[in-house]
Amino acid sequence: MKPTQRQVFLFIHFLFLSGTFAFSADISSNSTGGGLWSDPMTWHGKVVPTSGDDVIIQKNDIVAFDRNDAGKVSCRKLHIDPKGIFTFKTGGGTQICSIAEPIENFGIIRIDGTKSSSDFLELRMIGETPEKRGIKLKKGANLLLYGKPDLPDGKRNIALSSLNGAQQPDELINLIEAEGAVSIDIQWAALKNIRFIVSKIDNTGATPNEKINFIENRFSGLSSLSILYCDTPVLSKNTFEHLGPKLIEEPAIHVAYSPLSEIKGNHIRGGYITGISAGFQSDTTLSGNLIENCTNGIIIGGGAVAVPNSMIKKCVLRNCTNGIKILSGTGVLEDIIIEKSTQAFNANTSNLQLTNFQVTNLAPKGIAIALHTGSLTLLNCDIIPAQITLGPQPATAKVDSITALQYAVIACKGAPADSFIEVRTIVPALPADSADPNVRNSPAPLVNGLTPLANTLNPLIIKAWSIDVGGKLQAAPQYQVKLLGVALKEGEAKPVLKSINFKPIENAFRRESDESTVTLEVPLK
């Protein structure tokens, strides 16, 4: 039996009165400049948006949020037209805007906490599913978040978050997507459960309304940052901390196809499978980063595609199972410390120089260096041959797989003024008058009885040992060290005042660049 029209009407009327049936409306800003969110005059129809409404901020309107909607919904959806601005009131204390479904931004989202340290301004996504917690930055959009710097105890007074409501689990993230012709500048902000996927943004200043900077932010929960096809992105002094039991599969920082990336001074701590990854790009700079308790500390490379001119400097990796992996590339790693790892450094199809590279507290049976194919030059590295494994090298390989170099500081007390120290290989013998491939910066001047230290422009550098392409350890060369005086006449050879033979030890690592520990002393008598 079909219900009558009156029965259907009464049923709908009952649902409406009982609160189980809700209607949504589009609420638009006033087109006359906007105003405060809670002011009816800000809106067409003079009706302040409620939890079921879709809000539209129209062109040339500035709407400033001015309430604390923690624990309730400010509106269902938020749409910002081109040249429309959504911001927060300054000087209003704690203000939290809670959005139930995605934000679509063609205009500007600006949260500015720089004017008042007593403000706390938060844009909060509280949708029931990850799909309802997204923010899409469309062509011409801006996402500008500026917290007040240097607040006590590392506090942040602005936030962008994806927080659980009464029935939502903590695992839900807010996905922020941006592609091309977009400006993202986020500084001194708290970002919780936020996953950024940003692509095709030029940060060189050559393209109007394009910017990508993440500086001094605190990422927590399930947050991560993925930068793709961007030119010169700046990711500086951010912290990433994940303390939950579940490992996060996305790297804390992932950068790909983004030349001249600057990834500096970031601190990553917690359950990320990978701290920082970068691939398919050139001229990547990683400097001053601290990575702790990740499965992989740093991964550089794109498989068969080489990553040229990588520079990794002054990074510390602590309690990471695998410290640094270079899958395919060239470049320099300098002033690196890897503590408590199982495999500190892994390289494949790469030609690299490691300078001042320390591996400490290596796990029992751990590996300091695993080289699959390619070649490494180790300059002043705290690594011995027994800590290295070498994979099969191609038949075309001609140079040694591993070459270890050391700084040499040679002393001669009481040496005449303007005298020099000359170091030359004698075993294996070299052809007369040929350049010495095992020694750099010889002869070296004596200053206060010492040759130049490692922190100078011209320190003595000598080859200590090598591992050939077949994996065989080649012992250190034997050198002849000569003290050279001042030539009596112009054009004459410098007289040899003293000569002594010398063979380097296996590990002569210098922890500090200005360390004056003497490698060899040449007595005058």
Separation between Cα atoms, residue 256 and residue 300, nearest integer Å: 10
Q: Please count the other Cβ atoms lying within 10 Å of the Cβ belonging to residue 13.
A: 11
Output the six-digit token pair for 445. Answer: 């001047």
Average confidence (pLDDT) over 363-372: 95
Output the six-digit token pair for 76. Answer: 């269902």
Q: What is the pLDDT of residue 9?
A: 40
- The pLDDT-based confidence of 281 (bands split at 50, 70, 90) is confident
Note whether 250 and 275 are within 8 A (CB): no
Angle at 522 between CA 518 and CA 523, to 5 degrees: 125
Output the six-digit token pair for 361. Answer: 């507290």
Q: What is the pLDDT of residues 203-221, one digit of tens each?
A: 999 998 899 999 999 999 9
Token match 């320390």: residue? 358
Beta-strand pair 420-427/444-445: antiparallel
Output the six-digit token pair for 504. Answer: 């380097």
Task: Indicate the residue type of 51.
Answer: S
Output the six-digit token pair for 229. Answer: 């096809």
- What does the DSSP assignment read for 471-512? SPEEPPPEEEEEEE---SSTTSPPPEEEEEEE---S----SS
Beta-strand pair 77-80/54-57: parallel
Indicate whether 492 pLDDT > 80: yes
Token match 């011409």: residue? 140
Q: What is the pLDDT of residue 22?
A: 43
Cβ-based neighbours of 318, under 8 Å, separated by 6 or more: 290, 291, 292, 293, 338, 339, 340
Separation between Cα atoms, residue 463 and residue 358, nearest integer Å: 18
Indicate whether 60 pLDDT > 70: yes
Average confidence (pLDDT) over 310-337: 94
Q: What is the pLDDT of residue 6?
A: 42
Among 451, 397, 396, 447, which Cα is nearest to 422's?
451
Q: What is the pLDDT of residue 11?
A: 44
Least confident stretch, 80-94, 289-303, 349-363: 289-303
Q: What is the pLDDT of residues 392-431, one digit of tens each?
A: 988 888 899 999 999 999 999 999 999 999 999 999 999 9
For the chain, give every domain's residue range: 22-236, 406-521
21 three-class SS: coil
On the CB side of 240, CA atoms within 13 Å amount to 32
DSSP structural state of residue 44: G
Q: What is the pLDDT of residues 227-262, one digit of tens each?
A: 999 999 999 999 999 887 788 999 999 999 999 999
Task: Indicate the residue type of 509.
Answer: F
Cβ-based neighbours of 45, under 8 Å, separated by 6 or more: 27
Q: What is the pLDDT of residue 262?
A: 93
130 three-class SS: helix
Among 154, 203, 162, which Cα is nearest to 181's?
203
Q: What is the pLDDT of residue 487?
A: 82
Among 286, 290, 283, 285, which Cα is nearest to 307's?
283
Q: What is the pLDDT of residue 169?
A: 52
Torsion on CA atoms 75, 79, 81, 82, rounded to nearest 10: 120
Q: What is the pLDDT of residue 301?
A: 83
Q: Label residue 315 exposed, middle or buried (CB < 10 Å: 0-12, 13-18, 19+).
A: buried
Note whether 497 and 475 are within 8 A (CB): no
Among 115, 200, 117, 195, which Cα is nearest to 161's?
195
- What does the DSSP assignment read for 424-444? EEEES---TT---TTEES-SE
86 three-class SS: strand
b/e per residue, 385-414, with b = 16+ CB within 10 A? bebbebeebeeeeeebbbbbbbbbbbbbee
- The pLDDT-based confidence of 155 (bands split at 50, 70, 90) is very high
- Mean of per-residue pLDDT scores for the chain: 91
521 three-class SS: strand
Q: What is the pLDDT of residues 32-47, one digit of tens each?
A: 999 999 999 999 999 9
CA-CA-CA-CA torsion sign (338, 457, 433, 486) = negative
Q: What is the pLDDT of residue 306?
A: 63
